[in-house]
Amino acid sequence: MRIGPIELMVVAFSGLLYLWPIWRICRKAGFPGALSLLAIIPAANTVSITLVGRTDVQLLE
């Protein structure tokens, strides 16, 4: 069973669709956007969510 180019494009698109909002949340919270890449790793996902969730965010500036 082989994976074709269409399947790879679907996986890449769904990965971007998953990471894009997390990237924006990290940027708004004052963290680097690359922190959202930790969402792929299960244990690091828990740590990064806790880290971002415990920060004070100034929403109305």
Query: What is the tens place of the pLDDT at every residue in 4-54?
Result: 999 999 999 999 999 999 899 888 888 898 888 888 888 988 888 888 888
For residues 52 and 31, the answer to whether their CB atoms sit within 8 Å is yes
Confidence of residue 2 (pLDDT cuts 50, 70, 90): confident
Check if the beta carbon of residue 23 is closer than 8 Å to that of residue 36.
yes
Phi-psi map region of 30: left, alpha, beta (phi>0 left; psi -120 to 50 alpha): left
CA distance 45 to 51: 10
Closest CA to 48 of 26, 28, 15: 26
Instruction: Quote the pLDDT of residue 28.
Output: 84
